[in-house]
Each structure stands twice: as C-alpha cells, then as structure tokens.
Amino acid sequence: MEVIKKLGNNAAVCKDNSGKELIALGLGIGFPKCPYTLSDLSKVDRTFYNVDAEYLSLFESIDPDIFGIAADVIDLATTMLSVSLKSNAVFTLADHLSFAIIRLKKGMIFNTPISNELRDLYPVEVKVAKYTLGLIKKKMNLELPDAEMYAIAMNLINSEENFTAANSVNVRSDFILEVVKIIEAQMHVSIDKTSFNYSRFASHMQYLFRRKSECAEISSANKKLFEVLKNEYKDTYQCVLLIKELILKKFNWNIGDEEVLYLILHVNRLCSHEGVTSESP
C-alpha cells in the first residue's frame, strides 16, 4: 500500500495495489515522511473508500478510535434497520461522538427533550445507540450519560435515506443562509458554504425544527449549563437571540431556553472550526 498524504499521525490518504484511493487508519501510519510504501498491512485498523474531500479534515481532528467505533455502529445499524443509510453516516456519527466526548470532558451534559418519543417510535435506533454507549465505555473507558443515547439515536435517524416525521418542518436552504448571514455579521467571521462545517450546522438546524412540536421547557439539569454558557459566550448568546427573533418572524415559533442552549453550542462550534475565517469587526 502506498501512503501518499498524512492526515495526522494515525491517518493517511493511501492507494491500494489496484491504484484506488482510500483513507487508512492505524497507529503511526501517518508519522513517516510521505510518500512511502507501507508493507506491513497489519498496522492498518480500518479503511474507507470513496471519501469526499469535505470529510478529510475530520481525520485530522478526530481520534481514530472514534472512527472505528462509528464504523462498527453503522455496520450494526445497516444490518438491523430496514432502511438504507446515507453514504456519509460514518462521518456524521464520528463527528457527533467526538463532540459528545468533548462536552463530557467539559462537564457540559444535557438531556434530549424528545427521549420518550424516540424510545417509542424508533426502538431499533435507540437500541443501536445504547450499544454505542457500551462500545465507547469498553474501547475508550469513557461513560457517556444515558441521555446521550437519544442524541445518538437522532443522529442515526437523520442518516436514514427515507427519513420522514410528522409535524417536522423542512428548513429551506435560503433560511439557513439567512441564519448564517446573522452569524457572520455578529461574530465577524466568513463561513465557507461548501465546507462540512457548514453542512453540519445546517443539519443541526434541521434537528432543532424536528423538535419543534415538543415545545419543552428547559430541564432543571440544563439550567445551570445554560447560565454558564450565556455568561461565558456573551457574543454568541447575543447572536443566538437574533436568530431566535428570525425564527419567530419566519415560523411564528418562540423558541425556549432549551433550544437557545443548543444554538449557543452549535453557533460557537461553527465559528471555531475549519471553513471559517475571522474578519475584523
């Protein structure tokens, strides 16, 4: 196998013996100077073919163990679910798990308001998500809270090709662009609309509107986190209040503090990842 480009010390762009390009994960395979020939294929833990360029940055920032877990989970979900999963399911799940672990280490733990609905309507996805928590504990010695199980289940549902939901709102791309314009103006950044970072934020906006019918008040477990984030990220909070006004104007939906909390997290994340450049205020 020819290793042609480093994607961190444990990931690299490679070519197999047939000349097909792939991403390989394995301890230290990106460490030597590229290009080089990797003769000991036992060093390769996992390979991914047909990876879009927009996902390459994930291999540089996410622990390879998380990719391995995500791939195992998607393999299981593929066999258990009666629907096909999108081709990017492994990458969106790996990204979700990475963010969940970061939040866990920072003590940022909050509930998923629609857990009862997910448990009743999507029992297979919840079962796979529960398996995911066990796999993370076994392989990474990290114990994510049970509430995270429902967020993982929602990630899987979003990856299903024929996802439909009663009372869901299809958030049009032009509305998301309006939201991003607010973020760019208020946070003094420029966001690449072709980046995975942008696509991820658009998915989170869709997720927020799929929760619209719940209209749950912020839980007591989340109130402390909400106050901490509101004070720590004051600029982001003010930006989110403008987004809240836009949602009220466009959809006649006055989002609560639970949704504001989600938006603070995701706007802050959007502004701190690849595909975003800072601009002078």
Strands 36-37 and 46-49: unpaired
pLDDT for the residue 164: 45
pLDDT for the residue 72: 93
HSE on the CB side for 279, CA within 13 Å? Answer: 11
Torsion, CA 22, CA 25, CA 28, CA 29, rounded to 10: -20
Angle between helices 64-80 and 123-140 (to 10 degrees): 150
pLDDT winner (highest mean) among 10-24, 97-111, 214-228: 10-24
User: Which structural domains are found in the chain, ordered by start?
Assistant: 2-51 (2.30.24.10), 64-158 (1.10.1790.10), 173-278 (1.10.1790.10)
pLDDT for the residue 14: 94
The pLDDT of residue 112 is above 70: no
Q: pTM to 2 decimals?
A: 0.66
Within the chain, residue ranges assigned H as helices are: 56-61, 64-80, 89-105, 115-121, 123-140, 147-158, 173-187, 196-210, 220-232, 234-251, 257-270
C-alpha span between 260 and 218 (Å, rounded): 9
Q: Of residues 180 and 8, which shows the higher confidence score?
A: 180
* Range in 69-73, 109-113, 174-178 with the lowest mean pLDDT: 109-113
What token pair was written down for 253? 């939906």
pLDDT for the residue 257: 84
The pLDDT of residue 169 is above 50: no
User: In whole numbers, what is the pLDDT of the chain averaged over residues?
Assistant: 83
pLDDT for the residue 165: 43
Q: Quickly tell me which residue has 């000349």 as its tokens.
A: 19
pLDDT for the residue 179: 94
Binning pLDDT at 50, 70 and 90, where does residue 274 land? low
Residue 186 Cα distances to 9, 145, 179, 224, 240, angstroms: 36, 34, 11, 25, 10
What token pair was written down for 18? 């047939």
C-alpha span between 169 and 30 (Å, rounded): 43
Residue 241 Cα distances to 7, 92, 246, 257, 271, angstroms: 38, 27, 9, 10, 16
Q: Quickly tell me which residue has 């199980």 as its tokens.
A: 149
pLDDT for the residue 55: 85
pLDDT for the residue 157: 85
